[in-house]
Amino acid sequence: MLATVVLGDQLRPRYVLSLLLIMTPPLYFFLGRYLAFHSGFERLLLMLAAVSTVFLSLLVIQVIATGAQVRWYIGAEGFTVLNLDFLGLPIYGSFGVLSLASLFVLQMFTAGGAFIASTHRWQQVRFLIGFGAAVFLVVGSNARGAQLVLPYLLVVLGAALWFGRRVIRIRLVFCWP
């Protein structure tokens, strides 16, 4: 608004949409804070992991069903895109491989934490599928920074299991026949 007044430019819809895009992360912060305080952190973690698992699983099913690569190299300029869409809609990071790969890493951590926190076997299987789908997409994205997180994730989850509560270790040992 100030730029339109100072520079004498016209107010365009893309300026308003750009402002909404900039304000999205703070809005999610307050939404997450509200949900964490009103429904409990463990329940919020399980809800986020369930949504991430569905999202990642649909992406992997599409890649496997079409036989396409996760990351395509386009032209001599070396542009790369992630060959992914969600139910026919292109994902926001389709032309930013690194930003989308970091989203997959975040969802991988969420699924791993929910796997440890879940008490039901069917939940653990679902979160394990989501974790595997995230690993598949991170490896297929060929984003080195995101791939370097995989060993770190294994160390963190292993430490959580080893030094974590005894109940978590017992739950994980006896969840598989």
d(CA 177, CA 121) in angstroms, rounded, equals 11
Same domain for 44 and 33?
Answer: no
**Average pLDDT estimate for 169-177:** 50
First vs last Cα of the chain: how many Å apart? 62
Number of domains in the chain: 2
Domain that residue 131 falls in: 40-174
Q: What's the whole-number average pLDDT of the chain?
A: 76
Same domain for 29 and 53?
Answer: no
pLDDT band at 50, cuts 50/70/90?
A: very high
Q: Is the pLDDT of residue 24 over 60?
A: yes
**Average pLDDT estimate for 61-88:** 74
Same domain for 14 and 52?
Answer: no
pLDDT band at 170, cuts 50/70/90?
A: low
Same domain for 35 and 105?
Answer: no
Same domain for 110 and 23?
Answer: no
Same domain for 126 and 148?
Answer: yes
pLDDT of residue 53: 93
Q: What DSSP line would sit under 77-104, residue for residue?
A: TTEEEE--EETTEEPTTTT-HHHHHHHH
pLDDT of residue 42: 78
Same domain for 68 and 26?
Answer: no
**Average pLDDT estimate for 59-83:** 75
Same domain for 19 and 45?
Answer: no
Same domain for 44 and 34?
Answer: no
